[in-house]
Amino acid sequence: MASNRAKKLLRKSTVLQAGMLEELQGLVKSIERAETLLAELKQDTEEMNARHQHRRTTREDIAYLEELLKCAKKKLAWEKQMEGVAKRTPEVLATVSTAMNDTVNPPLPKTRVAVLDLLQTVQSAMARLDAAKSAD
């Protein structure tokens, strides 16, 4: 009986560890998408400002404002994405902490290495994103 219970706990722990890895990978992808969107937004804004640098007519002003509105919508999408990342990060890190500190069924060494690599990727992606936001 104890053997079946131990097997169930092992399966549950394995599923938790696999889910944790998937969540970390998803977090990395979300951060990278946010970084890409921010870079695109900056490039679009710079191009738009260069194109409309010498506005002389009301039509040119309207065209500039329409493009500015498109950029503002893109920035709003980026901000929503960042809110999602900020909300998910503590949850993901709590899951990682729970799985990594499991004393009954600790993760395998290869899982530990994978988690460490993903955490370093998250850290470097966040640093790049912070640098990109600061360069604004």
pLDDT over 60 at 1, yes or no: no
Q: Which residue has the tokens 């979300």?
A: 30
Question: Which long-range contacts link 87-95 to residues 24+ away (Cβ below 8 Å)?
Answer: 88/23, 88/27, 88/30, 89/27, 91/23, 92/20, 92/23, 92/24, 92/27, 95/16, 95/19, 95/20, 95/23
Whether the predicted model's global pTM rises above the 0.85 cut: no
Lowest pLDDT segment from 78-87, 91-100, 123-132 = 123-132
- Compare 130 and 121 and report the one with higher pLDDT: 121
Residue 136: its pLDDT value, please? 62
* Two structure tokens written together for 9: 């706990």
Q: Give Cα separations from 59 to 19, 45, 56, 65, 79 (angstroms).
A: 54, 19, 8, 10, 30
pLDDT 10s digits, 65-94: 999 999 999 999 999 999 999 899 899 989
